[in-house]
């Protein structure tokens, strides 16, 4: 089995072109939309990243999306 360099709970940034394009339309001073937390790691190595929505508590209001490992980087935010 492949050794993963990520663990559930790691803070990460996602290098997804679509997220970066959307960030261009965010209001000035808005938090980057590509920062999240590893929520789950699938058997195939794909990483489920949980993103905060606005200033809401992530426990109450967040969204998740899967990404291949090559688009995910550790980032302390």
Write out pLDDT tens, residues 6-59.
999 999 999 999 999 999 999 998 889 999 999 999 999 999 999 998 777 888
Tokens of 12: 């990460």
pTM of the predicted model over 0.75 = yes
The full set of domain ranges for the chain reads 11-74
Write out pLDDT tens, residues 31-44.
899 999 999 999 99
Q: What Cα–Cα distance (Å) separates residue 51 from each residue in 4, 6, 31, 42, 58?
A: 21, 16, 11, 17, 8
> Using an 8 Å Cβ cutoff, are 40 and 46 in contact?
no
Beta bridge partners of 11: 37
């Amino acid at each position: 089995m492949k050794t993963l360099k990520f663990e559930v709970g790691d803070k990460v940034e996602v290098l997804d072109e679509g997220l970066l394009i959307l960030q261009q339309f965010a209001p000035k001073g808005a938090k980057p939309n590509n920062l999240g937390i590893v929520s789950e790691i699938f058997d195939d190595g794909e990483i489920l990243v949980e993103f905060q929505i606005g200033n809401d508590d992530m426990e109450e209001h967040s969204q998740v999306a899967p990404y291949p490992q090559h688009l995910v980087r550790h980032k302390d935010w």
